Structure 1
Amino acid sequence: MVRPLVIKVTCGIEEPERLNQAFTVATAAVAAGADVSLWLTGEGAWLGLPGKAEEFTLDLATSLARLRDAVIAGGQLTVCSQCAARREIVEADLLAGVRIAGAAAFAEEVLADEVQALVY
């Protein structure tokens, strides 16, 4: 049995390798059959909007847009509510399948039985 995985990414494109690693691990876990929840915080919040992941490039890395789409298709992609508010991002701005949620939802996810949580 594969246990649930919650990943919080605390950076945006200013930390390209850390950002890419979070999305790569999330996508690999989706492919392995895990219940994956990827949280975007700080500058990472922008990646819940159309076109933002498409602007990102990193040598020898899978397209961030492709990784993002795999997480949306097989897991849950969430933008932190406070991070969204500070950037004036609202639900209507987000890609289909992306949500905004806050600390209570994050705490509920990471405190569930058998969950593995990672922070990048």
Structure 2
Amino acid sequence: MARRLLVKVTCGTDDPERSNQGLTVASAAVAAGADVSLWLTGEAAWFATGDRTPDLGLPHASPAGALVTIVREGGQVTLCTQCAARRGLGEDDTLPGVRIAGAAVFVEEALAEGTQALVY
């Protein structure tokens, strides 16, 4: 059985390199055929919002929106419930396929057998 990769990105434009690394790892894992779950929390919540997806402005880096699209198309993207609420975001604000879920679901995924969790 293949291990599942759970990636939690907790930052956005406030820490662009760390944010980009998390998104890059998640999208690279999808491209490699892994079962990937990407959680967007804190300022990373904006990556779930289509036209409001921030540009990290990093030279030599893929655009954040493109990386999130790769994961949406080949894995699961989740927006933190509390993070969404604090930013006034609801399901109508998110990209297709992005779910909104809370800590209990994150813990369930993180503790599942065969899961490797990474936090950025």
Please confirm whether the aligned pair reaches a TM-score higher than 0.5, indicating the same fold. yes
TM-score normalised to structure 1 length: 0.94
* Structure 1, unpaired ranges of 5+: none
> What SS does structure 1 have at the residue aligned with 2:99?
strand
Partners of 1:83 and 1:22 in 2: CA distance = 18
Matched residues, number: 120
- Tell me how far 1:54 sits from its aligned partner: 5.7
Alignment-mate amino acid for residue 109 of structure 1: E
Partners of 1:106 and 1:22 in 2: CA distance = 16
What is the aligned-residue RMSD (CA, Å)?
A: 1.2
- Could you tell me which residue of structure 1 aligns to residue 115 of structure 2? 115
> What SS does structure 1 have at the residue aligned with 2:117?
strand
Partners of 2:70 and 2:16 in 1: CA distance = 19
Sequence identity (%) = 58
* Structure 2, unpaired ranges of 5+: none
**Do the aligned partners of 1:53 and 1:68 also contact (CA within 8 Å) in 2?**
no
- Tell me how far 1:62 sits from its aligned partner: 1.1
Does 2:89 match 1:94? no
Deviations 1:39-84 (A, max 9, x none): 0111111110012336332100012111111000000111100011
**Do the aligned partners of 2:47 and 2:54 also contact (CA within 8 Å) in 1?**
no
